[in-house]
Structure 1
Amino acid sequence: MFPPDPTPARAAAGQLLNAPGYWGTAACPTDGERAVFSVRSEEEANSGDERGLTETERQYVKTALPIFAERLAKGYGCPEPTTP
């Protein structure tokens, strides 16, 4: 369960508040900071359309984020990220 107003500073993963999409994080050992990975619908974010994502788009984004985040984290020597 995500906190009421999750941000990367307060939770490991969550739903973007200002655009349709999601984010996740990984604790990277090289600098002690958490890496943040996000994916969002650019078309929705740029159009100002507040309808959000369709269920199909939501499932695609939630499937794409872990794949993107895992590959990038691995390349930097970070553990598997936490994603929604």
Structure 2
Amino acid sequence: MDFWDNHSIWFVLFMFMFPRLTMLFATTFGGGVLYWIGWLFAPRFTVAVIATMLYGDTNIVMVVLAWLWALGGETTEKTVVSRRASRQS
């Protein structure tokens, strides 16, 4: 199964900009406690894990980009939040 057989570029853009909303309304994988914990605390990592599980053998470039996005995005988001919190203190 190839990613592009099931999704368009719009899905990728929405997943990039609004991962929680896209996962909430567009994925059918959502089961289990681990999925919802990932959705709540680290949606980019959850997307990367799901991409690896479903498309790791057919679309390795997308999987690598998902992991780069997850690692870079989560780190940047946490840094910005901690800086803003320290300014308000």
TM-score by length of 2: 0.33
Quick check: which one's strand share is greater? 1
Bigger RCO of structures 1 and 2 (CA < 8 A, at least 6 apart)? 1
Choose 1 or 2 for highest CA Rg: 2
Quick check: which one's helix share is greater? 2
TM-score by length of 1: 0.35
